[in-house]
């Protein structure tokens, strides 16, 4: 056993018993897509002997390989990115050699400047284009990714790639435009573990969160989630949540398919969006006495209605 592996093993045992709090820093909490949610401490959860989930950064995970560390997503600012880098350093002295971007929403890529230079940066090909276009145009608006040119993804995946990185066997998978047009799922077949990014989130009334403005589609979402469920896996890690059961994913898929059909039936009858939403119960009205807050993202029913209206269903 090499010295670094030995150190890794000792540190590994020290974080096995409980999640490790890494202290308060800049607000790491963010809703899907980047809505601020107030400060919450970053904690680590060990999912398998070498895979860790970073709580409270939106989506953050890392895999400790034999010579380096593979990180998935960066947090939504360099401050949060640094917290992720520091969290990795508390677990292993090995360097971060690889960064995989699950997609290009701000809360998943804007922490990238805190990461070491010279990494392999892997993204779905549409993400690389989105980031490259933002760099080329000099767009610094709120929706533009804050990725310096030196951190442009240097390896892209179209649909599927099987890799072994630092001794870790993984599959990088993209089925169709779903949450965005650039979702990249990481599947670890030996550990039966799937890292979904925001392909599936649990806090949007347990219905799909689809960014139409970034090319996401309901049809592609259903195809992608069916693809995930067809993998030989027992652990599923989703954005803004962590590990969820297979039953929760199946439930959301069933609800998504049912509401998609229902909204089409009602749309074909000529019903308005408001009437359709009242009929399907999405968005769910707030409990009595609670003021409705403006939704940060269009609810699934509105996505479906818009797809029908624009001939994109």
Binding residues for Zn ion, per CB under 5 A?
A: 105, 198
**Between 50 and 181, CB nearer to Zn ion:** 181
The CA distance from 268 to 111, in Å, is 44
The CA distance from 85 to 74, in Å, is 9
> How many helices (H) and strands (E) would you count in the chain?
8, 14
Closest approach of Cβ 132 to Zn ion, in Å?
19
Closest approach of Cβ 240 to Zn ion, in Å?
9
Closest approach of Cβ 179 to Zn ion, in Å?
6
**Between 203 and 261, CB nearer to Zn ion:** 203
CA-wise closest residue to 283 among 265, 302, 255, 307: 302
Q: Is 51:247 a contact under the CB 8 Å cutoff? A: no
The CA distance from 117 to 121, in Å, is 10
What are the CB-based long-range contacts (under 8 Å, 24+) for 128-132? 128/152, 128/153, 128/156, 130/104, 130/182, 130/214, 131/104
**Between 105 and 259, CB nearer to Zn ion:** 105
Q: Is 217:206 a contact under the CB 8 Å cutoff? A: no
**Between 91 and 100, CB nearer to Zn ion:** 100
**Between 105 and 307, CB nearer to Zn ion:** 105
Closest approach of Cβ 262 to Zn ion, in Å?
25
Closest approach of Cβ 211 to Zn ion, in Å?
7
């Amino acid at each position: 056993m090499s010295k670094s592996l030995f150190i890794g093993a000792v540190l590994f045992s020290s974080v096995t018993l409980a999640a490790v709090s890494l202290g308060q820093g800049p607000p790491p909490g963010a809703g899907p897509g980047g809505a601020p949610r107030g400060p919450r401490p970053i904690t680590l959860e060990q999912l398998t002997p070498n895979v860790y989930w970073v709580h409270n950064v939106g989506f953050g995970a890392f895999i400790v390989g034999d010579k380096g560390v593979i990180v998935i997503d960066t947090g939504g600012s360099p401050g949060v990115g640094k917290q992720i880098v520091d969290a990795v350093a508390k677990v292993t002295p090995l360097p971060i050699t690889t960064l995989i971007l699950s997609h290009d929403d701000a809360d998943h890529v804007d922490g990238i400047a805190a990461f070491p230079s010279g990494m392999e940066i892997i993204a779905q090909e549409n993400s690389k284009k989105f980031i490259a276009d933002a760099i080329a145009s000099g767009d610094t608006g709120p929706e533009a990714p804050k990725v310096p040119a030196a951190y442009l993804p240097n390896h892209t995946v179209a649909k599927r790639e099987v890799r072994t990185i630092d001794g870790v066997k993984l599959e990088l998978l993209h089925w169709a435009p779903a949450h965005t047009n650039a979702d990249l799922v990481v599947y670890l077949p030996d550990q039966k573990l799937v890292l979904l990014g925001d392909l599936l989130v649990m806090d949007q009334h347990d219905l799909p969160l689809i960014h139409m403005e970034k090319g996401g589609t309901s049809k592609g979402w259903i195809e992608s989630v069916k693809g995930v469920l067809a993998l030989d896996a027992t652990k599923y890690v989703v954005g803004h949540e962590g590990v969820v059961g297979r039953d929760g994913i199946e439930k959301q898929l069933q609800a998504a398919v049912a509401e998609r059909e229902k909204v089409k039936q009602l749309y074909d009858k000529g019903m308005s969006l408001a009437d359709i939403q009242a009929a399907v119960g999405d968005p769910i009205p707030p409990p009595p006495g609670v003021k409705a807050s403006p939704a940060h993202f269009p609810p699934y029913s509105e996505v479906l209605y818009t797809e029908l209206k624009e001939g994109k269903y």
